[in-house]
């Protein structure tokens, strides 16, 4: 009706608009909302939500992993777009590779009450996909996953370790010729990753159970210490 009445719409990735045949001049807009990650904490019975919050920006975010420490702080990792709400003193306040496919890894820490302690991009390029997160006794956080050279082609395994306040990258390394599918850490920050390799360039160790590639693709297992070695 010429803008005399209107209803604000949520930000969205795409939408559509039609004119209402029953009321000439009135337009109807519909939208398909974007997506955001969320974080929620339940009580011990699982029946009561202690807090819940969205986590992300206009370009969306997903949460792929969560970990908690003995003090009740918890940590999440995932992928976000180019306007993820980072906090002050973040180790990576801007996307590290603006020419990538628009998907960047992040890590965030919440205190036991659900307040955001820090949120930062990870200093990893090539559209990283976090697969696991863990925290050690000092509050340092390790995130591991894979990167992509194209939408469908995995590149390397990556490992990033952040300081307790999220302001420093203590470890930021990668392992080529491996496509990981899962990763786990112990309380000391040592980790194990499993995945696959498709060429003989995978860096096996001298005591490897199977030192050579057999067939076109083999499963691989990697164990590394808290320094990423």
In the prediction, which pLDDT does 73 show?
92
pLDDT of residue 140 exceeding 60: yes
Structure pTM? 0.76
Please tell me the distance from the alpha carbon of residue 169 to that of residue 171, in angstroms, as a whole number.
5
Express each pLDDT in 56-81 by its tens digit: 887 788 898 898 888 989 999 999 98
Please tell me the distance from the alpha carbon of residue 169 to that of residue 189, in angstroms, as a whole number.
15
Express each pLDDT in 191-228 by its tens digit: 888 888 877 888 888 988 998 888 888 888 988 888 88
Pick from 121, 162, 165, 126: nearest CA to 142: 162
Express each pLDDT in 81-95 by its tens digit: 888 899 999 999 998
Residue 154: pLDDT band with limits 50, 70, 90: low
Residue 12: pLDDT band with limits 50, 70, 90: very low
The two three-digit tokens of residue 132, written as one number: 């696991």
Express each pLDDT in 21-59 by its tens digit: 777 777 776 655 567 888 999 888 888 999 999 898 877
pLDDT of residue 123 exceeding 90: yes
The two three-digit tokens of residue 9, written as one number: 């719409």
Express each pLDDT in 106-121 by its tens digit: 999 999 999 999 999 9
In the prediction, which pLDDT does 224 show?
86
């Amino acid at each position: 009706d010429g803008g005399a009445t209107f209803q604000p719409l949520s930000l969205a990735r795409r939408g559509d608009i039609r004119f209402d045949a029953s009321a000439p001049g009135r337009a109807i807009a519909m939208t398909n909302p974007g997506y955001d990650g969320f974080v929620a904490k339940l009580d011990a019975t699982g029946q009561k939500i202690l807090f819940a919050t969205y986590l992300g920006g206009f370009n969306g975010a997903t949460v792929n992993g969560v970990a908690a420490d003995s003090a009740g702080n918890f940590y999440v990792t995932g992928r976000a777009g180019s306007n993820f709400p980072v906090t002050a003193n973040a180790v990576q306040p801007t996307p590290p590779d603006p020419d990538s496919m628009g998907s960047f890894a992040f890590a965030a820490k919440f205190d036991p009450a659900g307040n955001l302690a820090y949120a930062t991009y990870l200093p990893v390029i090539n559209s990283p996909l976090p697969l696991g997160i863990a925290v050690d006794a000092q509050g340092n956080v390790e995130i591991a996953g894979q990167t992509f050279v194209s939408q469908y082609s995995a590149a390397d395994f990556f490992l990033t370790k952040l300081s307790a306040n999220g302001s420093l990258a203590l470890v930021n390394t990668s392992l080529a010729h491996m496509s990981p599918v899962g990763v786990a850490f112990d309380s000391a920050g040592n980790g194990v990753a499993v995945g696959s390799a498709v060429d003989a360039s995978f860096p096996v160790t001298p005591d490897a159970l199977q030192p050579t590639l057999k067939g076109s693709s083999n499963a691989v297992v990697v164990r590394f210490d808290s320094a990423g070695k």
